[in-house]
Amino acid sequence: MAAPYSPDDREKVVTKVPGELRQTLKVRCAQLSTDMQDAVTEGVQAWLANSTDLPVIDTSRGTPFATWLPSGLYGALKDQCTASGLAYNQGVAQSVQLWLDNNPVGRPRAESLTTTTRRFVVANQKGGVGKTTVAAGVAQALAERGDRVLLVDFDPQCHLTQQLGFPELPYKAVSLTHHMLGETSDDLHDLMVVVDEEAFGSRLQLLRGCTDAFLLDAKIATTRHLRVRESALERVLEPVESEFDYIVIDCPPSLGYAMDTALYYGRTRDGEEETHSGLIVPVQAEDSSANAWVLLQEQVESLKELGAVITYLGFVVNLYDARKGYVVTSSLEQWNEMVDPGVLVVVAEHKEQREAVRMKQCLLSYAPTSDQAKSMRDLVRSIA
């Protein structure tokens, strides 16, 4: 039997729904990369096909809500509302809620589990390109969709820890540095905190940073066995890998031995595909990022000479603003011409990220519908 409406021709529908319900719909559509009018259309279709009693939604404080539905679909909803003794805006509100119920943001656990933990190392030898922003955004987008994620603040400056609203570990306290140097037998979990439990459940955890990481290079340099030196970070994190689907490392702008341990941790292990883990390289559309990329390649090549297989997952062109002129636009063209690795996503420079940092909140919960949040989700979809 043909549907009594056309999916190609649409008509504008203006009704009222609770403001909270509309905001939830907007956020969920952003999380799932779904157009709001398509979501409402699916919700109305599901509502018309539903044969059970749905909970009544309080629409007494509803605010105007406009969308475009296939011609005839709203008429079918109104007819059904009349037959059921419901107000039209109640039918729309129930349709929206039904779509939300049918489209949860988190994936079922069985789908998100990987054979082995995937390891993303966010690295660039240049400071100020947005490594911390990208590392945090990737981790949040993964946790948002249902994965268990450990975000590691490996930078002595501890910007990641601070931006997420936590104090860095005290200088003389047990830290990741002590674990890597074998100077403690304490539980590594004592250094971890849950990030934004309301938004991500307990799926996103942070291993807090400490300024004593400045000491790592000098102390690792005294280690006689090169292989032991390279694997210092892996020895610490490997025992907790089974608890996470992804581990994301926010690296310092460094060429030292500590950076070697992070790059080595992101290598391809036996039995893994080359794109299973690897390096995400944030850059900006300017020349100094290109120079830093050369330095990173040289450091990676030195590890490859020792047999490590390290994959570049791709570039993230961050803080892009075409209004800055020819240097920026021409530089982006050069990055886009790169093939192996290529550009994963271009992240525009907007105020939402700066505001989230100032408020010490996660971008994807502070501004979930922002262009930058969308870019982080696009980035995750491209590599995970």
Asked whether residue 5 carries a pLDDT value surpassing 60, the answer given is: no
- Calculate mean pLDDT across residues 17-35: 92
Q: What pLDDT is stored for residue 1 in this prediction?
A: 36
Do residues 229 and 223 make contact, with C-beta atoms less than 8 angstroms apart?
yes
CA atoms within 13 A on the CB side of 210: 19
User: How much is the pLDDT for 105?
Assistant: 84
| 235 neighbors 194 (Cβ within 8 angstroms) | no
Q: 52-77, pLDDT tens digit by residue?
A: 999 999 999 899 999 999 999 999 99
pLDDT for residue 123: 96
The share of the chain scoring above pLDDT 70, in percent, equals: 94
In the predicted model, what is the mean pLDDT of residues 137-146?
96
Q: Where are the domains of the chain?
A: 6-102, 109-383
Nearest 10 degrees: CA dihedral of 276, 131, 142, 200? 150
Strand positions, DSSP E, the chain: 6-17, 63-71, 118-122, 149-153, 192-194, 204-207, 246-250, 278-283, 312-320, 343-348
SS3 at position 209:
coil
- The per-residue pLDDT for range 229-278, each reduced to its tens digit, is 789 999 999 999 999 999 999 999 988 899 999 999 999 999 999 999 99
CB neighbour class for 379 (10 Å; exposed up to 12, middle 13-18, buried from 19): buried
Which of 251, 160, 264 has the alpha carbon at shortest distance from 206?
A: 160
Instruction: Give the model's pLDDT for residue 114.
Output: 53
Spatial distance between the Cα atoms of 97 and 21, rounded to a whole number of angstroms: 8
**Model pLDDT for residues 175-208, shown as the tens digit of each residue:** 999 999 889 999 999 999 999 999 998 999 999 9
Average pLDDT of the chain is: 91
Our measurement of the distance from residue 291's CA atom to the centroid of its chain's CA atoms, rounded to an integer in Å, reads 27
369: DSSP letter: T
Work out the percent of the chain whose per-residue pLDDT is above 90.
76
Under CATH, to which class is 109-383 assigned? alpha beta
Matching residue, tokens 């296939």? 70
Q: Measured between alpha carbons, how far is 230 from 117 in angstroms, rounded to an integer?
A: 19
- What are the C-alpha distances in Å from 72 to residues 11, 34, 36, 45, 271? 8, 22, 18, 12, 55
350 — pLDDT class (breaks 50, 70, 90): confident
Provide the whole-model pTM: 0.86
Kindly indicate the confidence band of residue 20, based on its pLDDT and cuts at 50, 70 and 90: very high
Q: Give me the pLDDT at residue 219, please.
A: 82
Q: According to the model, what pLDDT value does residue 14 have?
A: 94
pLDDT in tens, 203-225: 999 999 999 888 888 888 776 55
For tokens 């509309």, the residue is 22
Q: What is the mean pLDDT of residues 123-149?
A: 94
Sheet with strand 204-207: strands edge to edge? 192-194, 204-207, 149-153, 246-250, 118-122, 278-283, 312-320, 343-348
168-173 CB contacts, 8 Å cutoff, 24+ apart: 168/208, 168/209, 168/210, 168/211, 169/208, 169/209, 169/210, 170/210, 171/210, 171/211, 171/212, 172/212, 173/210
